[in-house]
Structure 1
């Protein structure tokens, strides 16, 4: 079965990237741009895009139907926000990463303030400067989330982050330690693979993935950007996957999205973006053929020309993504 999938993915390469009608459009305006936009999650049921501004900190909802963007802060919580994920079966409850806490919040999607309902788990207490960063749910609704240390320290020499899996209150399972900056995550159930980015290592790693348990094993390097782009110091950031198994990697300080064939381990396309700090991306829309992309204008001490911090939508890719999973309590 898996060998057939390999052949299928290789053949699909020729169909996926024939279109020359690529169109990149900003969905934010100059007053809506983020300092550090991250964590896009497209909810297929409501046709809403959710994302965060880590540094503000704030959460956002973009309605595809109306084109409106709504912004909120979390009451009595000024921690940096790594991500926002809807909870399955709820219309106004979300899991967010806030500082050291995995937290459930209530937000109606329009008000300017959300409220904390419950802290599910607190992590990395032994490292006060750590915080939760990127996260996604696997196809079964289990939450995989990671942490990172203080960016002003040498995270390559002293990585203090972790990768966790969470499903059952109140414990989180450590999947990896010695992580610099935990970032992009993606799954391919057909191949039994989990893909993961620690931005500090400048590569994408692949693992064997057990769908029934969420267990990962047999780490290997899928692609090393220090080899493919030795003269470009960008760091891989967020990541998503399309229906054919190709990976889309955002590049911090790279001004591009890299599309990777995980079977041949080759970069098959580079999508140039109008701003340098491309942070993450997610497929959405009724047909899952729109690629939403978050960016950053961070740190504030540097000059970032517009449209840094904007959120974009890319159409004309001639490919569809996979529906993102909402969080499911065990």
Structure 2
């Protein structure tokens, strides 16, 4: 993984940069990267073949969008986290507007200002997602009113896996070693769990790495996360201007990839060979100089990622 061969390029132009780009998801069948601007709010599709970026808003809904994931077996259905709801939507991938099909589940009813943040689908097609409190109302480092959920279908509803979460963020799975990794940005660490693919249960929480110790002189917060085919994890850093690469077996940081902007929000492997690392960033808090808020690709890492899962709509 030589930095000499590594190349970082922005895929967005000035007009396409966002305030809070997040949630990249590579779709193998469509050879496209889906992502969101939480604040706009808007959903996007980057078409790898033609290099075009398509943008859409959700009809009759202006809720903050935390995640945006394709539904398995469809070409135009997605699940999104919109404020405190998980919605099923329809979008053709090109039009400027998507439509809501139905509300799948509502969470955090005791905290009306909460919203969904990061979410992904596990190897079995089950949705995992988390929430966070209203930053304008709470100091989230002290008042932790978010939760972390597992969601399979509307009949059983959302199962709360953890509560008292500050900012629910990065999550990824290691199928080979049967591990699940999770980030609450407020605690500034990466937690690891045993993962049961048959039941989608997680257990035996422990801390993989504590950034308040490994980077005691820095104030960045860990954000989004992904994994490569070798089980190495990649952590985006809010206010850190870098991606931190960790070997979960040795619990050691093996590389830090510098980024051209401070607020690095999330990342996902994709491309025809899964050897491109796509990275989202934020343009907030303002003022932020370009290329803050851009979508980037990193090539030449010498590693490959794994296919991301779509949601199984039971």
TM bin (shorter chain): over 0.9
Which residue number corresponds to residue 43 of structure 2? 59
Deviation at 1:156, TM superposition (A): 2.0
| RMSD over equivalenced CA pairs, Å | 0.8
Provide the residue aligned with 1:257 in structure 2: 243
TM-score calculated relative to the size of structure 2: 0.98
Report the Cα offset of residue 189 of structure 1: 1.2
Q: Distance in 2 between matches of 1:99 and 1:225?
A: 29
Match of 2:59 in 1: 75
Is 1:161 equivalent to 2:146 in the alignment? yes
Kept in 2, the 8 Å contact 1:35–1:296? The answer is yes
Counterpart among 203, 221, 241 of residue 189 in structure 2: 203
- Is it true that 1:181 corresponds to 2:192 in the alignment? no
Aligned to 1:115: 99
Gaps of 5+ in 1: 1-16
Q: Distance in 2 between matches of 1:204 and 1:144?
A: 16
C-alpha distance in 2 between matches for 1:317 and 1:18: 7
Is the aligned partner of 1:192 residue 2:178? yes
CA distance in 2, matches of 1:162, 1:213: 20
User: 1:221-236 residue pairs with structure 2 within 5 A?
Assistant: 221-236=207-222
| Residue 319 (structure 1) aligned to one of 291, 303, 309 | 303
CA contact (8 A) 1:19 1:318 kept: no
- In 1, distance between residues paired with 2:141 and 2:203? 23
* Contact 1:275 1:308 survives alignment (8 Å): yes
**Offset from partner CA, 1:252-303 (integer Å, 9 cap, x none):** 000000000001101100000000000000000011000000000113xx31
**Structure 1: how far apart are the matches of 2:3 and 2:246?**
17
CA distance in 2, matches of 1:155, 1:260: 26
Distance in 2 (alpha carbons) for counterparts of 1:162 and 1:303: 31
User: Shift of residue 19 of structure 1?
Assistant: 5.9
CA distance in structure 1 between the aligned counterparts of 2:222 and 2:23, rounded to whole angstroms: 14
Say whether 1:285 aligns with 2:271: yes
Once superposed, which parts of structure 1, at least 4 consecutive aligned residues long, lie more than 2 Å away?
none
**1:25 corresponds to 2:18:** no
Q: Distance between the aligned counterparts of 2:313 and 2:56, measured in 1?
A: 24
Unaligned runs of 5+ in 2: none
